[in-house]
A and B are shown apart, each in its own frame.
Chain A
Amino acid sequence: MSLSRAFFAIIRRDLVLALRRRAEIANPLLFFILVITLFPLGIGAQPHLLQAIAPGIIWVSALLAAMLSLDSLFRSDFDDGSLEQILLSAHPASILVLGKIIAHWLVTGLPLLIVAPLLAVFLGMPKNSIGILLLTLLLGTPVLSLIGAIGVALTVGLRRGGMILSLLVLPLYVPVLIFASNAVEMAGSGLPVNAQINILVSILFMALVLAPWPTSAALKMSIN
């Protein structure tokens, strides 16, 4: 099997598996919606206040939802041994792992984009910033999956990896959070956001190129 065929076979397999267990797709999505609903309840429903902090709320919730969904990335494959088979195959492990990450993003990251405009309207965000919000989510959530994959790969062998995972992953999410929520905020006030978007694109490409290596190295370590 050629490398590209193996790569797409992994993506296809993970997507089929995810479709068989739909609850796992719905969980992070519901979590995302719930957390955003909690904010107006917690801080009061003043429209100005909500509008001002909406980009931050949506992005922090996206961060938490992405982190919550990370565990499913390698867990079942680790438990049933197919992860070992993937790492033992003749193809470079980092490419195959990238396939798994992409499939995981399609299942957990992409749905956030679909509900985000609705939630943005709930929080009273100005119309012109909703497009930018979608763009930042499109560029930012893959980075969350890529960086998160390193953390899961390090902790997948542990029985209680959950708490430690947040400590490993959240500090590394800081740049994405800063640039993305700032871009949405600036767009809301009608300012240009080219710089933020360019930086997000470059972070995405850097993560795409660099993150699979430590992920596969960490997985090989976790398997032993």
Chain B
Amino acid sequence: MLLIPDSVVRFFHRMASPPHFYAFTERLMPWLVIIFLFLTGAGLYGGLYLAPPDYQQGDSYRIIYIHVPSAWMSLFIYVVMAVAGAIGLVWRIKLAEIVAISSAPVGASFTFIALVTGSLWGKPMWGTWWVWDARLTSELILLFLYLGVIGLYGAIDDKRVASKAVAILAIVGVVNIPIIHYSVEWWNTLHQGPTVSKLDKPSIHVSMLIPLLLMALAFNVYYLIALIQRARVELLQRERNSQWVKTMVMENKQ
């Protein structure tokens, strides 16, 4: 705490208060949308138009501009969820709990997109929709982990208790993800040999890399937008009996 400047500490303390968070994100949202549209436009233009076709895969490699960023996001969001859950467990910050549970559906969607785009790409490239490749399999298990989190949250009526349960599950999952990933990789190499891992990373050309990074940034901003929207709704639902929500609703009526 000594090394962090006072203004930063104050910022986080104020963000942890629900009314302030609600008002602040309302002002922040248009900016985020503008940044997201700009990044997506630039990334897609660079990826689909400027970048040259691949010498082996032709144009079908261009799905990586959706596929790779969503696969990255699927892992990143799980970690965010576990960290937010841990913060919620330790310091009982309502907003951290809400961030944790609002992340889950977004993360599950990104996982699903990564799986679907991977399978769409696999059909022309590998000649099959699905192979029991290590990465595909661990991504599928990640999807199940997300669905477990969402299902558990839905099954418990008291949402404060449900947040705690989700936090514990997310932390357990985060410890397990590396173990699951490496065991699947190990299982795969022993069972089939490197028949499907033809996609060993070729060093990617800069004209293809820059759009990819732009898209990754755009997806991050999109995650932030979706997270904030979900968090705001969740916040209103939980705080529906508190004074600031009542005054806000009354003011909007007039």
User: From residue 118 to 136 of chain B, which have CB atoms closer than 8 A to chain A?
Assistant: none
Query: From A174, which residue of chain B is reached at the shortest CB distance?
Result: B180
Interface size of B by Cβ–Cβ distance < 8 Å?
A: 27
| Among B94-102, B165-173, B224-232, the stretch in contact with A | B165-173
How long is the Cα–Cα vector from A176 to B89 in the complex, in angstroms?
29
Contact B184 A174 (CB under 8 A): yes
What is the minimal beta-carbon distance from A31 to any residue of chain B, in angstroms? 23
Q: Mark A189-224, 1 if CB is under 8 A from B, else 0.
A: 000000000000001000000100010011001101
Contact A168 B152 (CB under 8 A): yes
Contact B180 A171 (CB under 8 A): yes
Is B190 interfacial (CB 8 A cutoff)? yes
Q: Which of B141, B145, B169, B176 contacts A154 (CB 8 A)?
A: B169
Query: From B186, which residue of chain A is reached at the shortest CB distance?
Result: A178
| Among A82-90, A111-119, A133-141, A158-166, the stretch in contact with B | A158-166
What DSSP secondary structure best describes chain B's contact surface?
Answer: helix
Contact B168 A217 (CB under 8 A): yes
Q: A155-B155, A174-B184 are in contact. Are A224 and B161 (CB under 8 A)?
A: yes
Q: Mark B153-184, 1 if CB is under 8 A from A, else 0.
A: 00110000100110011011101100110011
Is A43 interfacial (CB 8 A cutoff)? no
Is B19 interfacial (CB 8 A cutoff)? no
What is the minimal beta-carbon distance from B92 to any residue of chain A, in angstroms? 13
User: From residue 85 to 111 of chain A, which have CB atoms closer than 8 A to chain B?
Assistant: none
How long is the Cα–Cα vector from A218 to B168 in the complex, in angstroms?
7
Q: Which of B144, B148, B187 contacts A178 (CB 8 A)?
A: B187
Contact A167 B183 (CB under 8 A): no
Contact A210 B175 (CB under 8 A): yes
Contact A171 B145 (CB under 8 A): yes
Query: From A158, which residue of chain B is reached at the shortest CB distance?
Result: B155
Is A30 interfacial (CB 8 A cutoff)? no
Q: Which of B155, B172, B183 contacts A160 (CB 8 A)?
A: B155
Binding site for A on B (CB under 8 A): 89, 141, 144-145, 147-148, 151-152, 155-156, 161, 164-165, 168-169, 171-173, 175-176, 179-180, 183-184, 186-187, 190
Binding site for B on A (CB under 8 A): 150, 154-155, 157-158, 160-161, 164, 167-168, 170-172, 174-175, 178-179, 182, 203, 210, 214, 217-218, 221-222, 224
